[in-house]
Homo-oligomer: A and B are copies of this chain.
Amino acid sequence: MTQTAKGRATSPDAASTGFAQSEYRARVAALQARMAQSGVDVLLLTTAADFYYVAGFLTRFWESPARPWFLCVPASGDPVAVIPAIGAELMGRGWIEDIRTWDAPFPGDDGVSLLAETLREVSATSPAPRIGLPMGLETQLRMPIGDYLRLTAMIAPAQCVDATDVVQRVREIKSEAEIAKIRAACGVADRAFARVGEYACPGARLDEVFRRFQMSLLEEGADWVSYTAGGAGPGGYGDVISPADDRRLAPGDVLMLDTGAVLDGYFCDFDRNYAISHVAKDTAAAQAALMAATDQVLGHLRPGHLACDVHRMFAEQLRAQGAVPGGGRLGHGLGLTLTEWPSFTPHDKTELRAGMVLTLEPGVEIAPGRCLVHEENIVLRESGPELLSSRAPRDLPILSGGAT
């Protein structure tokens, strides 16, 4: 793997844009096989991730909530795109040939009757078609709810059914081309994390640190930076989802930075922790416990484990080290969005399979309101986890403001 001047990885898989048409066709075939098993006649997709996955349609325009987009995957044959006219040019560059547009946003009928007509057409061989949509945990329907209710009335006797399983069981197994893209995104973050000492030091403003971190991610080759969060506080931080404020880093603080940098539509999602000037004893103990727990899971996780098993492994190992496991999930899926199913909670029974890309994200509560969270990205192989992020140093790096 070689680097460009800007550091972007140029391995053949990662550097190319999108995927070969054969890969999209294989994805559609896999969805159609699941649809047949589930008795779904048409799969209706509405989100950015599903559009990129099936149609190769990648744009940041989803940031505008103004217009819905629809992709209909029939029981057999190619998908049909029912989209705002503004997207026709970009969609036309991809492999989907049947592209139907309306002049969105259109008050009173924002694509609904065109979608209903298309659904009727592509399900015409079935007397009472079942239109599958992802309706379950960790899904969203990206269209006005009023329009969804109107649609269900318009397409009767066709009915909408839950197709969460159809989409999730297919998308969660990544191809080698997808894994290469996620690995490249992780590489971008690895290189940016290695440079945090250039600007994070005692006295540095947290919002400037966040800004410089994002600039580094772009410099190292990210197409864009969809997510940064973090925290800083004496010996730990209060939460992991806050934006930056203008507080200044102080000796004894732990700084955490977390990112979802995007490369060709695929995310990384991991964090790194840094000690400012020195490390408190209880923070060092928490760090050691997190490292030991991560070692344990990296060594023992195998296909066939359930999502809840990972939570159990982390919790047991952290407790064995005398640490208090953090609440919430301790890792999750990753790929076309910052987070994907499954969730490493005590309740998620999803079976882990080879080809899944996952984050390992154990957290420790050092004291009330003070935590330490560590995260790595892996792909699960038959033989166990393969790291996609470069493993974090075992001891917290100390940033003192000297030359690094």
Contact = CB atoms under 8 A, between A and B. Distances in A.
* Number of chain A interface residues as a range: 35 or more
Interface in A62-92: 63-67, 84-87, 89-90
Interface of A: 6, 17, 47, 58-61, 63-67, 84-87, 89-90, 103-108, 110, 133-146, 148-149, 162, 164, 207-208, 210-211, 214-215, 218-219, 221-229, 238-246, 260, 327-329, 332, 337-339, 341, 343, 345, 347-349, 369
Given A135-B145, A219-B215, A225 B224 contact: yes
Contacts of A63: 226-227, 260, 337-338
A107 B146 contact: no
Contacts of A222: 211
A328 B135 contact: no
Contacts of A142: 140
Nearest to A144: B139
Identical chains bound together, number: 2
Given A138-B65, A229-B60, A369 B239 contact: no
A333 to B, nearest CB: 9
A243 B60 contact: yes
Contacts of A245: 17
Given A63-B337, A66-B138, A105-B343, 6 more contacts: A6-B211, A60-B227, A65-B140, A103-B328, A107-B137, A137-B144
Contacts of A224: 214, 225, 228
21 contacts: A59-B243, A63-B337, A64-B227, A65-B138, A65-B337, A65-B339, A86-B241, A89-B238, A90-B242, A104-B328, A105-B137, A105-B348, A106-B347, A135-B146, A137-B144, A139-B145, A141-B141, A210-B223, A211-B222, A215-B219, A224-B228
Lowest 7 A-B CB distances belong to which pairs? A135-B146, A89-B239, A61-B241, A64-B339, A141-B145, A63-B227, A63-B338
A332 B65 CA distance: 12
A54 B136 CA distance: 27
